Amino acid sequence: MSVTFELPESHRTHQEAVRQFCEEEVEPHVDAYEKEGTFPIEVVNRVAEAGFHGVQYSTDYDGLGLDYLSYAITIEEISRSWKLLAGTASIAGSLVGYPINEFGAEWQREEWLKKICSGTWIPALALTEPNAGSDAASLETTANRDGDEYVLDGQKVWTTNGSIADFLVVAARTGEGEDHNGVSLLGIPNPQSRDGITFVREIPCMEGDTAIETELRFDRVHIPAENVIGDRGRGFRYVMEGLDIGRIGTAAQGVGVAQAAFDASRQFADTREQFGQPIREFQGISFKLADMATEIEASRLLTYSAAAKRDRGARVTTEAAMAKTKATDVAMDVATEAVQIHGSRGYSKEYPVERHMRVAKGMQIYEGTNEINRLVIANRLYE
Question: Which residues are tagged catalytic?
Answer: 367
Select the residue interacting with ligand FAD from 10, 59, 134, 198 (CB under 6 A). 134
The answer to whether 255 and 331 are in contact (CB under 8 A) is: yes
Select the residue interacting with ligand FAD from 86, 100, 116, 126 (CB under 6 A). 126
Q: How far is the CB of 192 from ligand FAD (least distance, A)?
A: 17
Q: How far is the CB of 108 from ligand FAD (least distance, A)?
A: 20
Q: How far is the CB of 114 from ligand FAD (least distance, A)?
A: 22
Query: How many whole angstroms from its chain centre is CA 7?
Result: 22
Q: How far is the CB of 239 from ligand FAD (least distance, A)?
A: 9
Cβ proximity to ligand FAD, 39 vs 366, nearer residue: 366
Q: Is 269 in the site for ligand FAD (CB under 6 A)?
A: no
**Positions in 197-216 near ligand FAD (CB under 6 A):** 213
**Positions in 353-382 near ligand FAD (CB under 6 A):** 362, 365-366, 368-369, 371-372, 375
Cβ proximity to ligand FAD, 67 vs 213, nearer residue: 213
Number of residues in contact with ligand FAD under rule CB under 6 A? 18
Q: Which stretch binds ligand FAD (CB under 6 A): 122-130, 249-257, 316-324, 325-333?
A: 122-130
**Positions in 144-203 near ligand FAD (CB under 6 A):** 158-160
Q: Which stretch binds ligand FAD (CB under 6 A): 64-72, 100-108, 126-134, 310-318?
A: 126-134
Q: How far is the CB of 211 from ligand FAD (least distance, A)?
A: 7
Q: Is 128 in the site for ligand FAD (CB under 6 A)?
A: yes
Q: How far is the CB of 282 from ligand FAD (least distance, A)?
A: 36
Q: Is 34 in the site for ligand FAD (CB under 6 A)?
A: no
Cβ-proximal residue to ligand FAD, closest one: 133
* Sequence-ordered list of residues with C-beta below 8 angstroms from that of 284, at least 6 positions apart, any chain: none
Binding site for ligand FAD (CB under 6 A): 125-128, 133-134, 158-160, 213, 362, 365-366, 368-369, 371-372, 375
